[in-house]
Amino acid sequence: MPYPRLTATEATRRIEAIEQALREGHTPPGTPGRFGQRNAVAMGLMRCNVKANTSTDVLARLEEAAGRKINWSLYPGPRVALDAPTPRFDPPFIPPDDVPVEQLIEQLSERFERRAEHAAAKKWMRFELKDAGPYLLAFVGDPHLDDNGCNWPLLRRDVELMRRPHVHGVMLGDVTNNWSGKLQRLYAHQDVSRDRAWKLAEWFWQAVPWLLLVKGNHDIWSQSYGQGDPLDWMSRGSAALEDWQARIEVVAGEHSLRVWASHDFKGSSLYNPLHGPMRAQRFSPGDADILAAGHQHHWEIFSGEDADKTTRPHWLVRARGYKHIDPHADHHQYASQQHGSTIAAVVDPGRDGPAAVQCYADLAEAVEILEFKRARWEATCRSVEPKTTTGAKRRTTPAK
């Protein structure tokens, strides 16, 4: 079947498309071009929606139908690389702004070794008490010192009790409300301003002989401001300060007690207020004697023995805290408990089994029991003191 005859208009349109491709640098047929580049005829015909055909016959028919020749001279020719200009100046020497990469790798290796040593030391931080004999650990629940619902009469009483000899405080977090982000609007509904709240926190840090301070979620919010956490400065020289959780080992003479203190443990249950600590104890090696938490504003005490792991009894405790008036809890129909703001553990190194540690929801009662145990321990010390050659007695630690 013969090709249909091209009109002059259509032939001219195709020739103009080919010439435009020539101007753009597409090569004439038979001239080497860049890799992957179409020649001018193929590109021009493709733009006219015509099958690319660069045969001599096709071009001759185009020129005959249009009545003119294709202007191949429009092709500018291959681009010639220009020689680099001769430099007219010497650029200034700018030394590198960082150490050589080999030195950087050496620094990173040393820092990792330090971090690994630091993390290993924190796995069970060892606290050796200066005095032997029975002592008390006070696990202080969330104070929220600046909240309108903070029970200050009870808190002031407990602070005085924690200042007694042989009483050591363990703070479980949320010292102040420390509202952050959108919650800052809540400062409009409390009597204590933000500045005064930090004064209360500083007083609280200094009022009690703390052994350990754990930050809760309200405390950690300070880190989101990007200006440092005031609690880090307030706690310097007073106690160990950790985010959210810490593991410590308290040593009195030859007796050691391991405490896993956390603002809260993972997991919750409607039917078991201690589900989180119980879950942590169950899925851990069982090397903690006491697992203590706060955060949920209710208290609970549980003691048991995991025979699969150890013969030493363990305690699971949750401290209620001091926010005794809580509109948020009332709104969501959470019942408000009235006891257990601080859970006290009385530790008697001279006893074995369950008698070695007992926990109480009343700090005043626990302090009385501690005083009784201290008096008994001191009487035992006096009874076993050997006489010297002058008749005087030398005080020693009682035999277990």
| Same structural domain, 193 and 252 | yes
The domain of 65 spans 8-74
In a domain, 369, yes or no: yes
The pair of structure tokens assigned to 122 is 């924190």
CA angle 388–393–396, rounded 5-degree value? 105
In a domain, 339, yes or no: yes
Looking at 58, 74, 90, the residue that finishes a domain is 74
In a domain, 83, yes or no: no
With a cut of 50, say whether residue 364 has pLDDT above it: yes
Task: Give the containing element (helix H, strand E) for 121.
Answer: helix 101-123
The whole-angstrom separation of Cα 19 and Cα 44 is 8
In a domain, 18, yes or no: yes
CA angle 254–136–150, rounded 5-degree value? 150
Predicted model pTM: 0.75
Looking at 53, 74, 95, the residue that finishes a domain is 74
Total number of domains in the chain:
2
* Residue 200: closest CA among 144, 153, 250, 240: 144
| Same structural domain, 69 and 126 | no
pLDDT value at position 393?
A: 45
In a domain, 79, yes or no: no
| Same structural domain, 296 and 192 | yes
| Same structural domain, 173 and 64 | no
Q: What is the mean pLDDT of residues 12-39?
A: 85
With a cut of 60, say whether residue 115 has pLDDT above it: yes
In a domain, 98, yes or no: no
| Same structural domain, 69 and 191 | no
| Same structural domain, 61 and 129 | no
Q: What is the mean pLDDT of residues 302-324?
A: 94
| Same structural domain, 238 and 144 | yes
CATH number for the domain spanning 187: value is: 3.60.21.10
| Same structural domain, 41 and 135 | no
The per-residue pLDDT for range 127-185, each reduced to its tens digit, is: 999 999 999 999 999 999 999 999 999 999 999 999 999 999 999 999 999 998 899 99
In a domain, 24, yes or no: yes
pLDDT value at position 395?
A: 45
User: What residue type is 118 in one-letter code?
Assistant: H
Contact 299, 322 (CB under 8 A): no
Sign of the CA dihedral running 205, 210, 215, 216: negative
| Same structural domain, 126 and 50 | no
| Same structural domain, 34 and 129 | no
pLDDT value at position 222?
A: 86
| Same structural domain, 251 and 311 | yes
Which is more confidently placed, 322 or 382? 322
With a cut of 90, say whether residue 108 has pLDDT above it: yes
In a domain, 82, yes or no: no
The per-residue pLDDT for range 268-307, each reduced to its tens digit, is: 998 999 999 999 999 999 999 999 999 999 999 999 999 8
360-386 burial string, b = 16+ CB within 10 Å, else e?
Answer: bbbbeebbebbeebbeebeeeeeeeee
Percent of the chain with pLDDT over 90: 61
Q: What is the mean pLDDT of residues 83-104?
A: 88
| Same structural domain, 148 and 54 | no
CA-to-CA separations, 184 to 174, 193, 226, 326, 328, in angstroms, rounded? 16, 11, 16, 17, 15
Sorted by sequence, the CB contacts under 8 Å of residue 135 that are 6+ apart come out as: 129, 166, 167, 168, 250, 252, 346, 347, 370
Q: Please report which confidence band the pLDDT of residue 107 belongs to, taking 50, 70 and 90 as the band edges.
A: very high
